[in-house]
Structure 1
Amino acid sequence: MLPITMPPAMFSAWASGAATGLGLFAVVGAQSAFILRQGIMRSHLAAILAVCAAIDAVFIFASVLGLQAMTEWLPWLTGAVLWFGVAFLLWYAWQSARRALRPQGGLHLARQAVPSRRAALLAAVGFSLLNPHFWLDMMVVGSIAQNFQEEKLGFAAGTLTASVLWLFVLGVGSRLFAPLFTDARAWRVLDGLIAVVMAFLALRLAAAN
């Protein structure tokens, strides 16, 4: 069987896309914090990761192929997404803070029946599509990809590779940390940190608008 080879120009575009993707995605933001918590709870993690990867795939390639033009046609879209995102992040910060203030909050919820798959997947979609940082990242990806002309799909593939790699790291990391969360205090610390991160992101986005 002949080995699969990639033309040098395409490989260069792919490598640039992977480096760009890691720089953009490998941060503990709203989506990452949500995935970590769901993984620790062992609540539909595989399905959530699949949905997040699918959304990234669709929008990475859409951005490279013309998403930037759509925002030029609909200039109000960026502002609408930003304020929906601020509201969504503040709501999740409030929920996390409430759990952190309860002595058995997070641990109690983790021991209850696992939330429905539908609710978990809807939250995953929300943390992607209602996250203004997601749209800003897509704009960056689309803009840089235009420098690669015929190889821009290779750039998109590299960016998607970085996205999938980061999601895999989050999934594995959440499973590795799971044994630490048999103690209610660990859940309170986690939810407190998530509340701070979500509130900080929301306020920074609101101030920047």
Structure 2
Amino acid sequence: MNYNGIAQEAAASRAYHALERMIVTLDLLPGSVVTEGALIERLGLGRTPVREAIQRLAWEGLIEVRPRAGLAIAPLHPADWSRVIEARRSLELLLARSAARFVTRNAADLFHASALAMRQAVIASDVLAFLQADKSLDEALAVAADNPFAARVAAPLQTHSRRFWYRYNAETGLAESAEHHVALIRAILDGDEEGAAAEADRLMLLLRAHAEAAARR
């Protein structure tokens, strides 16, 4: 890949992460319609990287491309959160077991950094920092598990779940969620496959309880 190709790939990655963050934190409102041009102007990036990011987010179900009508941001229906968790649960257990089995020094450093960032976010009551730490943990899990197929399927479900959590549970669930995530990290770093799977399952059950509560509101 030449220099221009590398730069283009980096710009597309920046565009994707910026747009994903805007969708997760409801900066782009659920159900709203925006234009490609407005996103290009807002991000300050070129048309090609922004378009690539939009295509990726469309595949993940976060944006609907409507020809000649704009880009519709995915709506948030509380009942869908339980469906996301149901689809995600078995994947998270698989990734947790694999991560505990195959974790490397480099991956361990990523887990330590995620745990520290989560603790700092709780101390500062910084929900946005916690969301970033949570995403970093998911990325560390993908690296450590050494199963790119499972990681690719899990990634959009993790993003959808973060979005629901931010909408319905961010004001009260920060410390509890961090506690469960840190327990998962600890089991992985201990190389405890079954313990890691159990902690991943506890986390999914916690999220499912939050999802069911959101659906009853």
Report TM bin, short chain. 0.3 to 0.5
Between Structure 1 and Structure 2, which shows a larger proportion of helix residues? 1
When normalised by structure 2's length, the TM-score is 0.34
**Bigger radius of gyration among the two:** 1
Between Structure 1 and Structure 2, which shows a larger proportion of strand residues? 2
